[in-house]
Structure 1
Amino acid sequence: MNEPMVKAQPARIGSSEFFARARARLNFEVPAGLVDPHIIPRTGDSGNDRMLEIVAKEQPVRPAAVLIPVVDHPEPTVLLTQRSPHLSSHAGQISFPGGKIDATDASPLDAALREACEEVGLKREYIDPVGYLDLYGTAFGFRILPTVAKVEPGFALDINEAEVVDAFEVPLAFLMNPENHQIHTKEFRGMDRSYYAMPFAERYIWGATAGILRVLYERIYLS
């Protein structure tokens, strides 16, 4: 199945308005569900929610943090990465900078900033954190807490090819246009669960990355 979302008028807001809305609607309160296995992140999709309930009973919670780096160009972009093909999970997929939260990380924000520096060399001096987006659960047992951040242009990247093979920017306007949000379905133990995809040129953005971008759209553009 490959269906577009129900048509809606594309939301068009400028850079300053985007960050103003994000600062007003997001904060740095860490949700209890990041580490509590009894709290299941809810997606609003019954198949997804049932899948997460099953996964929570079978696997330990795996707290993770990612950075959503929105680069403050006149036409803002989102910095994404392509994971190395030899990794044990999500090999070759399009992703945000991020990974598992270590015991030495002071917070999910600190983990996201550390991972962004380790993976692509994005230095903290260019990053202005805005707030946490909603907790996002995956079929692999990860509980991902995304940090939305304003990134000043002018940074130089240093790709860690052990983890990432490429980093690139996608216009925020493209990612926040609901006409570009496709819904696909996949079977999980006899149940249909849906996931988002946002193909961009030769890049296939899907799964958790596309799902988190959809949450960003709903929080900043619709609420």
Structure 2
Amino acid sequence: MNEFPLYSADEFRRRALHQSGGPVELAWRDHGDHLLNPETISQVADLKLKDAAVLVPVVDNGDDAKVIFTLRTSTLRKHSGQIAFPGGAIDPEDASPEMAAVREAGEEIGLADIFIEPVARLPHYLAATGFRITPVLAVVKPGFHLALNPTEVEDAFEVPLSFLMNPDHHVTDTMLWQGTERHFYRMPYGQRMIWGITAGIVRTLYERLYR
């Protein structure tokens, strides 16, 4: 019997530290939309990838934790207008993906590091756009205030963890990308559409922590 409510931040932390599946460093092929596109795995793995990190910020909100997402501005060069986690490239001065993810969260949405508790990592997400992304799972203490960077972020909003971890909300879809049929997850939430890399990371979170 679980000691904590299923979708509380405490239970999220416990599950993040005891993930199912293979070792985090090796398991990227085994999860998310990588499984939907097995024929592209070798193609992506052979790309020269730039290391990046994103913060998966789970707000301690009692029995039903919330997850912070951003809406990227339409003027950004990559992934413009999409829903994303705070994050970006790992800079040379970043000692770890955790440091990069926390730094980016501060720069993009003004989330102060004193509220952020990095807990664990998910397997890498290898993006065909040229990034090897490390998702950093974190618990965020309540009481924070956000200040959005208008050059990068148009909006920030929260989605209940219970909604995201319900596989009934994980819809598969198909599109043509550079002449190749690609399968992906999308997760409609009200007027929002979580899809692409972000939905792939959410799906991996579900597969390793809540399935």
User: Quick check: TM above 0.5?
Assistant: yes
Structure 2 residue identity aligned to 1:199: P
Q: How does 1:145-160 map to 2 (within 5 A)?
A: 145-160=134-149
Deviation at 1:96? 0.1
Q: How does 1:60-209 map to 2 (within 5 A)?
A: 60-74=48-62, 75-188=64-177, 191-209=180-198
Q: How does 1:20-39 map to 2 (within 5 A)?
A: 20-25=14-19, 31=25
Aligned pair in 2 of structure 1 residues 187, 78: CA closer, same or farther (>3 Å)?
same
Deviating above 4 A after TM superposition, structure 1's stretches of 4 or more consecutive aligned residues are 43-47, 188-191
Aligned pair in 2 of structure 1 residues 157, 66: CA closer, same or farther (>3 Å)?
same
Q: Does 1:19 align with 2:13?
A: yes
Q: 1: distance between equivalents of 2:157 and 2:66?
A: 9
Structure 1 residue identity aligned to 2:68: L
Q: Could you tell me whether the CA contact under 8 Å between 1:136 and 1:144 is conserved in 2? A: yes
SS in 2 for 1:205: strand
What is the CA RMSD across the aligned residues, in angstroms? 2.2
Q: 2: distance between equivalents of 1:152 and 1:221?
A: 22
Q: Could you tell me whether the CA contact under 8 Å between 1:128 and 1:149 is conserved in 2? A: yes
Structure with the bigger percentage of strand:
2
Q: Could you tell me whether the CA contact under 8 Å between 1:82 and 1:94 is conserved in 2? A: yes
Aligned pair in 2 of structure 1 residues 30, 124: CA closer, same or farther (>3 Å)?
farther
Deviation at 1:73? 0.1
Total equivalences in the alignment:
201
Deviation at 1:53? 2.5
% identity of equivalent residues:
49
Q: 1: distance between equivalents of 2:38 and 2:88?
A: 22
Structure 1, unaligned runs of 5 or more: 1-11, 34-39
SS in 2 for 1:179: helix
SS in 2 for 1:105: coil
Structure 1 residue identity aligned to 2:80: A
Post-superposition Cα deviations, 1:70-97, rounded to whole Å, max 9, x if no partner, equal: 0000120000000010001100100000
SS in 2 for 1:146: strand
